[in-house]
Chains A and B, each alone.
Chain A
Amino acid sequence: MSDRPGDVVADLQNVGRVYRMGSELVHALRDFTFQFRSGEYWAIMGSSGSGKSTLLNLLGCIDRPTSGTYSVRGQEISGLNDNQLSVLRGRELGFIFQSYNLIPQLNVIDNILVPVVYQDDPIPNAKERAVELAERVGLQGRLDHRPSQLSGGQQQRVAIARSLINDPAMILADEATGNLDSKTAEEILELFDELHASGKTILLVTHEQEVGDRAQHLLRLKDGLIHEVRLAGEPAREEASA
């Protein structure tokens, strides 16, 4: 299924995430209510420890909230068991990591295909689609290469192609350009722009203001709370302050 632009893909209602450190409780995310809609391109910013990664992990269903509810495309995740959550991750979410996180034993095409092989009813013509995506992100002639034979930028392109293979509801990128030099980072950001233009939903965590400014919208966190929401073409709107 695909969403019409504007449909809510990620719905967070009063979400909290508490870590226990010995006897101390760390509130990484507090009473977080927010909706991400289809086709939006968000930059998520905030100082270190503000809860960006925590938020992305929750959105990516590799972590569960300790309070509140979270739905992906209308599907409440608290009712899903580990297996169902895994299937959901593979199908609806595309991950891009700071350190690329490719599987070293696999070549480019097989890396791109990893989210496909774990699905019970995989997309048809997956291999052709993988080749197509690899070429779309600029990996022509590198399809047989192992990650160790690729540059950082090229590895991140593989990761982007991999995140797109199942045509997920949203793409979650945590510091996707953090390990790259500015020129390569720029190329990757151009790729994101293209994806956004083609209607993909992208949530990009970043430290760099220029990167944040390139995105359509900007969400700034502070101490696990929403600090600032800046929508495209609107002035900044302060949500809360600590």
Chain B
Amino acid sequence: MIGLSLWKTVQLGISSLLLHKLRSFLTTLGVLFGVASVVAMLAVGEGASEKAQAQLRELGSRNVILRSIKPKQDNVSEEETRVLAYGLKRTDFDRIDETYPGVVRTVPVLTSPQEVRVSDLLCRPKVLCTTPEFLKVSGRIMADGHFLSQQDEASRSLVTVLGYDVARFLFPFERAVGQTVRIGEHYFEVIGVLVPRGPLGATASNPSSEAGGEVYVPLSTGRAYFGERQVTVRSGTFDIQEVQLHEIIVQAERDVDVPFVAAACRAMLSREHEDKDYEVMVPLELIMREKETQRIFNIVLGSIAGISLLVGGIGIMNVMLATVTERTREIGIRRALGARRRHIITQFLVETTVLSGCGGLLGVALGLLIPWIIERTADLQTVVSPIAAVLAFGISVLIGMIFGLYPAWRAAHMDPVEALRHE
């Protein structure tokens, strides 16, 4: 039996479109670029947000991080030696640690610029003097050995935990745990090595360069052996900074407690500090802000894509109107031979949809190619979601249907006699 199957109509549409290959191709360009930009920009945006979210997750979504910052100096003294005391105080730490509801852990961090050596290997990692609970709030994982203990803290032990990169640099061929390293002027026993940050294999820092990597020692040990003063020599002048704590990591019990903990910390610090010599970082807020930014980005992107798809759709409609006029006679013939209006509508609608669908397919292909090129040339992470590709293609098909409707309607409502007389 020979009916008018959809497949037959699609075939007919394709063969009609192939009669004017260049015109058909040019007509699809609008939709093609619209769809390609949707897919590509979503991939780039998704990649950026995924990276940002991963970074923030590493900071801990339940954490509120207080940091010392050097206040702006108005009157730069010309003295040879300056002592600049600023930042978070031990008393700040005690207040939060003792009294705040909703806080499960409070971890102090003092950093000290020290050289770390093993025989003739030297590196300058960040030396973090902190308490055993650091491991829990940071979410870091031990690769070998164990982290600093309460015992180490209480007895000011000369023990250290190395970051993965530092361990690999100082002990390239042997197990680091059990070895001795020299930090500053003192010798420390390595008791543990941490798993690297981020995905395995992706080395974030390079300890063989001037500074990089991390080394952990008990806070009590750090205070006793390195002190709170940091001396830097800069163009002949001694620059002495005195900071009691560089960082206080406050961990809330639940995510919902984070805003209150953050507010309490901010209130307390602004009360206790005359200068703005601290900052409060709330990863959860950053995540929210990141999401908001992402949302705005998506809106802007969606509008741009929407406009280009709209323009593409209008282009298609324009060409289809011309096609309908051009094929007036064919329409007359088909009507005379028994085609009902809906047959004519279907024929032109299918043709438009095939046209925009082809544009959509090519657009998706181009949209997948662009992130691929970006990843290889611009060192940007991209994430192509199949849903975005399918959605963009679906939209292109929809565009064809919407913008094909009017030309098809025009075709179907021609007077057969007039249509047959058309030259």
Q: Do A and B bind each other?
A: yes
Structural contact, A162 and B337, CB atoms closer than 8 A: yes
Residues of B within 8 A of A162 (CB): 337
Is A82 part of the binding interface, using a Cβ–Cβ cutoff of 8 Å?
yes
How far, in whole Å, are A118 and B412 apart by their CA atoms in the complex?
14
How far, in whole Å, are A167 and B337 apart by their CA atoms in the complex?
13
The contact of A87 among B2, B19, B338, by CB within 8 Å, is: B338
Is A157 part of the binding interface, using a Cβ–Cβ cutoff of 8 Å?
no
The contact of B2 among A63, A83, A113, by CB within 8 Å, is: A113
Chain B, interface size: which category?
20 to 34
Q: How far is the CB of B16 from chain A (nearest CB, A)?
A: 6
Is B1 part of the binding interface, using a Cβ–Cβ cutoff of 8 Å?
yes
* Of B133-141, B179-187, B339-347, the one with at least 4 CB within 8 A of chain A: B339-347
Structural contact, A115 and B1, CB atoms closer than 8 A: no
Is A48 part of the binding interface, using a Cβ–Cβ cutoff of 8 Å?
no
Q: How far is the CB of A151 from chain B (nearest CB, A)?
A: 19
Q: How far is the CB of B23 from chain A (nearest CB, A)?
A: 15
Q: Mark A100-127, 1 if CB is under 8 A from B, else 0.
A: 0111111000000111111100101011
Say yes or no: A89-B15 contact (C-beta < 8 A), given A62-B420, A122-B3. Answer: no
How far, in whole Å, are A90 and B333 apart by their CA atoms in the complex?
11
In this complex, how many residues of chain A approach chain B with their Cβ under 8 Å: the count is 32
Is A51 part of the binding interface, using a Cβ–Cβ cutoff of 8 Å?
no
How far, in whole Å, are A171 and B19 apart by their CA atoms in the complex?
32
Q: Mark A22-37, 1 if CB is under 8 A from B, else 0.
A: 0000000000000000
Structural contact, B340 and A118, CB atoms closer than 8 A: yes
Q: Mark B1-12, 1 if CB is under 8 A from A, else 0.
A: 111100010001
Is B292 part of the binding interface, using a Cβ–Cβ cutoff of 8 Å?
no
Q: How far is the CB of B8 from chain A (nearest CB, A)?
A: 7
Structural contact, B329 and A122, CB atoms closer than 8 A: no
B19, B329, B340, B343: which has the most chain A beta carbons within 10 Å?
Answer: B340
How far, in whole Å, are A115 and B338 apart by their CA atoms in the complex?
6
Structural contact, B340 and A114, CB atoms closer than 8 A: no
The contact of A83 among B3, B4, B340, B420, by CB within 8 Å, is: B340
Say yes or no: A105-B19 contact (C-beta < 8 A), given A86-B335, A118-B4, A124-B1. Answer: yes
Q: How far is the CB of A127 from chain B (nearest CB, A)?
A: 6
Residues of B within 8 A of A63 (CB): 416-417
The contact of A114 among B15, B332, B334, B341, by CB within 8 Å, is: B334
Q: Mark B318-341, 1 if CB is under 8 A from A, else 0.
A: 000000000001101111111111
Q: How far is the CB of B114 from chain A (nearest CB, A)?
A: 82
Structural contact, A57 and B333, CB atoms closer than 8 A: no
Q: Which residue of B lies closest to A88 (CB)?
A: B338
Q: How far is the CB of B122 from chain A (nearest CB, A)?
A: 80
CB within 8 Å of A: which of B92-148?
A: none
How far, in whole Å, are A104 and B327 apart by their CA atoms in the complex?
10
Structural contact, B16 and A114, CB atoms closer than 8 A: no
Residues of B within 8 A of A83 (CB): 340-342
Q: How far is the CB of B339 from chain A (nearest CB, A)?
A: 5
Structural contact, B2 and A105, CB atoms closer than 8 A: no
The 4 closest A-B pairs by CB, nearest first: A90-B338, A118-B338, A62-B416, A86-B340
Give me the interface of B with A, judged by CB distance under 8 Å.
1-4, 8, 12, 15-16, 19, 329-330, 332-343, 416-417, 420
